[in-house]
Amino acid sequence: MSALGNKQIMANNIKWYLERSGKSQKDFCRDLGFRETTVSDWLNAKTYPRIDKIEKMANYFGIEKADLVESHAYAKSGIPVYRIPIVGKVVAGTPIDAIENITDYIRVTNPAAADGSYYALHVTGASMEPEMREGDLVIVHKQDYFDSGDICIVLVNGNEATVKKVLKSDQGITLIGFNATVYPPHFYNARQVEELPVRVIGKVKQVRRSY
């Protein structure tokens, strides 16, 4: 059964976002110009709001309309949830132009994401198989430091992004794909790292896969 039109799911989600934002029902009605009886009916799962009202609530809470429509376990758990942006794609193979436009958002429960230091990217290509596959979503912490052996998002030539295991030494860095037949190790000496440049812009913290 689709969650669209499910009164109880909508009621649970509105209650959860009201609690999360520290707003009372009276605040909510006053701020959005809703009648209290109408909102009470939503919260008691008696009626379902129109799409324009859902959009107005989503904008008020700073969320997507789907966050109100769809069923979420956290709406009952009380666990804080944070949104992080999906900012395009990254190639597991030959680097491509980095894409920075926000295409969507995902929800995570990691409190570290509260400061905006995380983003997500879709993987394309096969050089990181079997650990990472085409279509996987990698969750990345923004950072330019890393330990040798970390899996990182790397910019090459300033505007080309790739996901690779990165080894570093006094001589330079080596980008390694788990599928060497697709992507043999690429070594960049210290001068190339500086002049191209080759720059780490994030460390992969998690991989999500849909089946």
Within 8 A by CB and 6+ apart from 180, the residues are none
**Which of these, 139, 154, 163, 156, lies nearest to 201 by C-alpha position?**
154
pLDDT over 70 at 104, yes or no:
yes
- Whole-angstrom distance, CA of residue 149 vs CA of residue 140: 16
Active-site annotation holds for 127:
yes
- Check: CB of residue 85 under 8 Å from CB of residue 108: no
In sequence order, the β-bridge partners of residue 175 are: 166, 186
Taking only the tens place, the pLDDT of each residue in 113-164 is: 878 889 888 898 899 999 999 988 899 999 999 999 999 999 888 777 889 9
Among residues 56, 89, 164, 165, which one is catalytic?
164
Distance CA 74, CA 142 (A): 26
Is-catalytic flag, 205?
no
Integer-rounded Cα Rg, in Å, for the chain is: 22
Is residue 71 pLDDT above 60, yes or no? yes
Q: Which of 89, 127, 165, 203 is catalytic?
A: 127
The percent of residues above 70 in pLDDT, for the chain, comes to: 86
User: Are 95 and 159 in contact, with CB atoms under 8 Å apart?
Assistant: no
Nearest CA to 140 among 169, 167, 168, 161?
161
- Domains of the chain and any CATH numbers: 7-77 (1.10.260.40), 82-208 (2.10.109.10)
- Residue 26 token pair: 């009276």
Confirm if 204 and 142 have CB atoms less than 8 A apart. no
